Amino acid sequence: MPLAPSDDIVSLLTQDHEAIRQRLSEVCDAPPESRKELFWKLTDQLVRHEVAEELVVYPALRDLPGGREVASERQAEEAEAERLLASMENLDPGDDDFSRALAQLRENVLEHAHQEESEAFPLLLAHEEHAGLIYLAQKFKGAKLSAPNHPHPRLPSGSAAQKVLGPIASFFDRMRDEARSSA
């Protein structure tokens, strides 16, 4: 696999994956009384990452030879993680149910990242020009900034739905977060 420049989409995604791995470890290793805030930070990171991938990475993959199936499989994994995250939002971080769900989430997210790194990244590097990889990275950064920061598993998936409904969900997420922090 050829080396990618540090400002391209593969490098950016690799950095995101590492940051998510670190956050997962922090949440899993934290005492129950510290988990809630760390869990919200993890949720924010994961949801923004997943939405940006859905808007930018998976459409690009679908246009590559062999990429349609890879994109569909990764998207299904992300939908499962989103459902799990949503179910965890109302659990007490000190409960056994939360710990079991967290262990499952960690396993799912780590496997998803591994699959992207071993299947999706080589496709992108093999078929996208250098300028295209950099362009995707810029689009990904922008998508993360405007993405919702809570899971919305009931919203339709797909880049078209995210483009229309994502900003609305993002607005309500931020309003909910503001109300929660003011309380």
pLDDT, tens only, 116-139: 999 999 999 999 999 999 999 999
Q: Are 152 and 176 a contacting pair, CB within 8 Å?
A: no
CA angle in degrees (0–180, nearest 5) for 72-76-79 = 135
Architecture of domain 9-182: Up-down Bundle (1.20)
Q: Is 112 exposed, middle or buried (0-12, 13-18, 19+ CB in 10 A)?
A: buried
pLDDT in tens, 58-85: 999 999 999 999 999 999 999 999 999 9
Q: How far apart are CA 54 and CA 61, in angstroms?
A: 10
Confidence of residue 176 (pLDDT cuts 50, 70, 90): very low
Q: Is 92 left (phi over 0), alpha (psi -120 to 50) or beta?
A: beta
- CA distance readout (Å), 136 to 3, 60, 62, 66, 175: 17, 8, 14, 19, 29
Using the Cα atoms of residue 77, residue 83, residue 89 and residue 92 in order, give the sign of their dihedral: negative
> What are the structure tokens assigned to 91, written together?
């659990």
Q: Report the candidate in 111, 99, 104, 61 with the shortest Cα–Cα distance to residue 83.
A: 104
Q: What is the mean pLDDT of the chain?
A: 84
Map out the domains of the chain as residue ranges.
9-182
Phi–psi pair at 3, nearest 5 degrees: -75, 140
Predicted pLDDT of residue 150 = 56
pTM of the model: 0.79
> Which are the contacts of 48, defined by CB distance < 8 A and separation ≥ 6?
144, 147, 148, 149
